[in-house]
Structure formats: C-alpha cells, structure tokens
Structure 1
Amino acid sequence: MRLRYWLTCLAICLFVPMQAWAAAQIKSARIWRAPDNTRLVFDLTGPVEHNVFSLDNPERIVIDIKSAALQTDIKNILATSSPLKDVRVGKKDSELRIVLDMKARVYPKSFTLAPNQQYGHRLVVDLFDNVQDPVAQVIKQQPEGKPVATVTPPVQKAPAGGQRDVIIAIDAGHGGEDPGAIGPGGLKEKDVVLAIARELQRQINAEKGFRAELVRTGDYFIPLRRRTEIARQKGADLFVSVHADAAPRSTAYGASVYALSDRGATSETARWLADSENRSDLIGGTGNVTLGDKDKVLAGVLLDLSMTASLSSSLDVGQKVLNHMGKITRLHKSRVEQAAFMVLKSPDIPSILVETGFITNPEESRKLNNKSHQLSIARSINAGVKQFFQISPPPGTWLAAQRDAGKTVVGPQEHVVRAGESLSMLAARYQVSLVEIRALNKLKSDVIKVGQKIQIPARTLAAQP
C-alpha cells in the first residue's frame, strides 16, 4: 500500500509540470475582410505569448507564438479575397512561426482574447491597409486593447449645387467573429441586422433629399467607437444602429428604441473634452462643433449644449420610429428607453439604437428571418426618420429649401384599397403620377383589388393659402 501511495505521488508530480509545459494548440484560423483592414483570428486551446512584426522586400508579416503547435491547415485563410498572397509555417524548438506573404504593405496590430460564451482563447491579428497619405491613417489603441484605424479627413457634405441630402448612417450591429445574439436554429443577429440595414438603405436612397450610408457593408467586425467615427466621416445627420436583442427568458418579446442616457451624455462630454484626438476631430471640421478657438470652460459649455441638443433630437426621432414600428410589430416598451450604449455617445450626431425584436424568442426569431418582415421593419424605421427630418430639416439641405419655399414633403405612405377605388383615383388623390405608383409597386397593369396595399411615393406639395 505504501509503495502504491508513493508511486501515485510521483505520477502526480510528473503530470503537473508536463501539463504546464504542454503546447497550446491552434485549432482553427478564420479571416474577415473589411474595407480598410483584414482580421485574422486563431482559435487556441489555451493562452499564449506571441510577437508580431513586419518585413519588407518582399512584404511579410511574421507571427511568432511561444509554446504552440498547429493542429489544423491554416491555408484556408487564402480562400477569402484579401491582401494575403500565401501563408507558411515553421517551427524552432517550442516556438511556432507563421509567415504571411502579402500582396501589398499592411500595418499589423495584435492582441489576445480570453474565452467568452461563443469562443475559447483567441489570438487576433489585424492587418490595416496602406494609405497614400500616412498622416490620414492613425492607428490607435482602444482602452480595451482592441486596435482601430481612424481616418480623419472630413467628408464634404454639401454638393456644388448647395442643397445637400440628409445623410443617415445605418449601423448593422456586431459582425465578423462577433455574431451577436444567437436565436433558435443558430440564427445570428449579425446576419439579420445586416439584411435589415441593407433594405433600410435601399428605401431611404429611393427618396429625394435623403442618402443612406452603411457603416458595416459586409460580414466583418468594427469596434464600437470606430462605428461613430465612420458615421462622422460620412457627414451623418443621424446615426441608426440596428440590433436584434437576446434575453434570459425566451418569452421576452417586442421591439425597442434606445437613446443615450443623461448620465452617459455627461460622462461622454467629459471624455471628449479630455481626449485630444476627439478635440482635433471637431477642430478639424469633421464634426458640427468647433472648439479650436475656445477656452476649456467655454468649450465645455458648448460641447455640453451640443450633446444636449443631440440627445433631444435622438429622443424625438426615436419616438417617431417607435410609433411607426408599433404598427407592424409588438413593442417591448411604448416609450424610448435610455442607456449608456457606446455607439450612441456622439456629441454632434443624434443617435438611436433600434432593437428590432428578441431573436431568442422562437416566434420573433422566425419573423426576423423573414424577408417580408425585414422589409416592414425597414419601412417603419424609414417612416419615422423621414417624419422627423421633414419637420426639422438640417440647414443647407434640399428638405430645408422645400420648407423655406413653403412646400411640404409628404410620404411615402401605404394605402389599403377600398371598394370603388382605382389606381387613377389614388394618383389624383395623392397628387402623384400613375407612372410613379406603378414603378414603386412593380405593377404590370392598373388593375387593383380591394384590400391590396399600395405604396404611395413621397411627393412635394405647395403650402395651402
């Protein structure tokens, strides 16, 4: 018995160091391509130490990972269109070396991530594209350690004609290796909200005086603060972030609209004043607040007023969107809620976050995955946004010019056909042409049926005397 005890102790002593020294395994590699960068994600069995550096002539990125072993063929990352030309793997002692042969110069940033609900340990390598003007591209480190590329040149908002469009930045939440909430059957929030965002962009761009810009155009990850930076670069008059919520209970239901909380606004004002990068953006003319010639006290007052005005507009447009959404889906709350969401913290752009429903609710998940329902959600958001800007158009826009000329921009709207109505009657009633109604509704003839839903295009009406 005593011999068996000592043999067991010896085995334990030998086993523990071997486990401690065991190499972490790279289980898989994934790649995501964004417009200005490429993200590589290596899935690991445990934490690792690593080093990343670049070499030129030819252009290469070298990734050294200590005490690691490759358990998969990482050549699969070459299947995606990206600046990668080839990938090679070598080993020296216990150190694994991955060499990325590049088609063009890139700037690497890397970090490791601890396990979460979806993934285990990860090594993330971001490869930022080269730009013609190196001053325009600033690679900065976020507080949480995730790198982000910031392009600072402002976007010219007004065209040569002088009457610009109202610009709506549409942000599809999550993306890339961040799927967001997961619904029954594996439905991913990132896919649903991108589909809704694209449909919303299409509808907004169909209207005179409006232009919609997507913040995320594909399946890739964008850090939260970078999303608001992109909206600012595009000259946005409104930032709309689209999501599909998750809840601990699968019975939770309903759409919601959020604006920034007062407490979040206060803290963000302080952060912007303290952050020289942010101040330089505003001073440079990228935003709608100019602080360059103001002392700190006055700058604080002006920035606080700007944030207050943006928050007031956010609550207004948010309520209009929520009212229209209530016509096509159940609501979680009938009033705009407020929270300190990171993507809403822009001092000079009214911002709302739209939760289109609970993707974890089986019934709502089915609806959210339905193209017709996605179209209806987009239409309701579009209606609320346009209602707000028709009442409060930004100066210098076509909508503002119409208002100043005593004209009213109405619609679009939906009409349910009643007995005795014809398409020509609807055209006369709403003061639009038959051609416009046919085109919007994709009608091949003028025959309509009772109960049929006809979309009436937006139109400009002269003010009544």
Structure 2
Amino acid sequence: MCNRFIGFVLFFTAIVACAGNNTHVVFIDPGHGGEDSGYISSGGMVEKDITLSVARKIKEKLSSGDKLKVFLTRENNGYVGLRSRVKTVDDYKASLMISVHTSEKACKGNKPFCINIYCSTKRNKKSCELESSIFDSLVFDGNIDSEKMMNENFIILKSMDVPSVIIEFGEIDTLKKYNLFKDNYLRKAIDSIGNGVVKFLEVKT
C-alpha cells in the first residue's frame, strides 16, 4: 500500500510539474537490478551497478534545464520488473524512455569505447527517430565507435508506447581497463545523449 501511495504521489507531482509549461517527462531506465545482475564481467564488474551509475549521470545532465522532468525507473539496487517499468513510464505520460545497458562484446576494431543504440518500431514509429537524433549528436574521435540498429526482439522496446531506445555501452572490462567511466569519453557520450534528446523533443534551451 505504501509503495502504491508513493507511486501516486510521484505521478501527481509529475503531472502538476509539467502542466501548462511545455515540460517533457523523460524516463531513464537502468537495466537489470536486484537479483537480476545482468552481465558480470571476468573482472567482476556487474552490469546492474554500471547502468544505475550511468543512468544517474544522464538524469543529472538532462535535469540541468527547466524544460525536462527526468525520472529513473529504479533509484537503487532493488529489482523492478518489466511490467512495472512499462506501467510507470506509461502512467507518467512520458515523452520518451532510454534504457541503459552494457555490452558483453568488445568494441569493433579494438576501440576502447563504443556505444550501440537500438530501436524498434513495433509500438511507436518515432522510436527510430529518437535513435537517429541521439546517434547524430554523438561526438566521435579515433577512440570511439558507434552503431545504430533496429532490433524488433528486445521486449522492453516492444512493450513501450512512448518513443524508446536502448543505449548499450561497450564491454565493461575494457571500460575499466582504460578508466573510461571517469574519463572524458563518458562525459562526452552523456552530453551527446542529452543533446540528442533535446533535439528530438525540440526543446529550446
């Protein structure tokens, strides 16, 4: 009952905050959580921890202005089921959703940092427009690689009514080896993701 009440309060807060001022609700979904660890690398890094850390950074970036109201589908290491994630995003009448994951595979060409973006048009035709907006905003250099792909099989993309993408960061042992989570690569990537979201929503900053 308490969780339902808290959920209602958050929902009411989002609607009030966004009413009448052209504010968009954006959801960042940290993949996995709780007993669902996701990928555990040979070096002992756990996907669920990394996705939460990166999602918080994306939220911080997008929350810097007053036109976006940004929420996470999970705020801590607790488990949140797929249906709950989808229902929360739908109930908030979100403008878009970004699900954060890491890859089990090394980046192509032995690049130390890569980003893959996935979309599906099964539920929302604009999902691949969101993907393109983020992809086109990415800042490249000789150490970064990126691909955009359509994948109709990811359940979370097939379940969302709002424009949705999965952003997958490169293999996590490589990221640890090059210390890229504390380096400019991640900051540049998050800045680019933020710019792509703003461009997609046509928000004036």
TM-score (norm 2): 0.81
Instruction: State how far apart, in whole Å, the 2-side matches of 1:160 and 1:255 are.
Output: 31
Counterpart mapping for 1:36-75 below 5 A: none
1:384 matched to 2:196: yes
CA contact (8 A) 1:170 1:215 kept: yes
More strand by share: 1
Aligned match of 2:145 in 331, 334, 338? 331
Of all paired residues, the percent bearing the same amino acid is: 24
Structure 1: distance between partners of 2:22 and 2:96: 14
Measured on the aligned residues, the alpha-carbon RMSD in Å equals: 3.1
The answer for unaligned runs of 5 or more in structure 1 is 1-129, 138-150, 266-306, 391-398, 400-408, 410-457, 459-465
- Counterpart of 2:153 in structure 1 is 340
Alignment of 1:59-458 (within 5 A): 130-131=1-2, 155-156=11-12, 157=15, 159=17, 162-247=20-105, 254-260=114-120, 265=122, 307=123, 310-311=124-125, 313-327=126-140, 330-333=144-147, 335-346=148-159, 348-360=161-173, 362=174, 366-370=178-182, 372-390=184-202, 399=203, 409=204, 458=205
Q: Distance in 1 between matches of 2:18 and 2:172?
A: 44
The answer to whether the Cα contact below 8 Å between 2:107 and 2:171 also exists between their aligned partners in 1 is: no
The alpha-carbon distance between structure 1 residues 371 and 230, as it changes in their structure 2 partners (threshold 3 A), is farther
What displacement does 1:323 show?
Answer: 2.3
Q: C-alpha distance in 2, partners of 1:163/1:174?
A: 33
Q: How far apart in 2 are the matches of 1:324 and 1:342?
A: 26
SS of the residue corresponding to residue 200 of structure 1 reads helix
Structure richer in helix, relative to its length? 2
Closer/same/farther in 2, CA of residues 182 and 326 from structure 1, 3 Å limit: farther
The two structures have a TM-score, normalised by structure 1, of 0.38
Structure 1 residues 365 and 382: CA distance shift in structure 2, 3 A: farther
CA distance in 2, matches of 1:382, 1:244: 18
- 1:217 shift after superposition: 0.5
Go from structure 1 to structure 2 and tell me whether the alpha carbon gap of 1:364 and 1:259 turns closer, same or farther (over 3 Å shift). farther
Which amino acid counterpart does residue 354 of structure 1 have in structure 2?
A: I
Query: Relative contact order (alpha carbons < 8 A, sep ≥ 6): 1 or 2 greater?
Result: 2
Secondary structure of 1:220's partner?
Answer: coil
Equivalent-residue separation in structure 1 for 2:98 and 2:133 (angstroms): 13
Residue type of the alignment partner of 2:187: L
Structure 1 residues 154 and 197, CA gap change in structure 2 (3 angstroms): closer
Q: How many residues align?
A: 199
1:163 shift after superposition: 1.8
Distance in 1 (CA, whole Å) between partners of 2:38 and 2:18 is: 41
**Contact residue 172 and residue 193 of structure 1 kept, 8 A:** yes
Contact 2:18–2:25 (CA under 8 A) maintained in structure 1: no
Answer whether contact 2:27 2:94 (CA < 8 A) is retained.
Answer: yes
SS in structure 1 of the partner of residue 43 of structure 2: helix
* Cα shift readout 1:268-307 (whole Å, capped 9, x = no counterpart): xxxxxxxxxxxxxxxxxxxxxxxxxxxxxxxxxxxxxxx3
SS of structure 2 residue aligned to 1:345: helix
Supply the distance in 2 between the matched residues of 1:190 and 1:196 (Cα, whole angstroms): 10
How far, CA to CA, are the matches of 1:376 and 1:180 in structure 2? 25
Q: Which amino acid counterpart does residue 378 of structure 1 have in structure 2?
A: I
| Deviating 4+ runs (over 4 angstroms) | 151-154, 158-161, 248-253
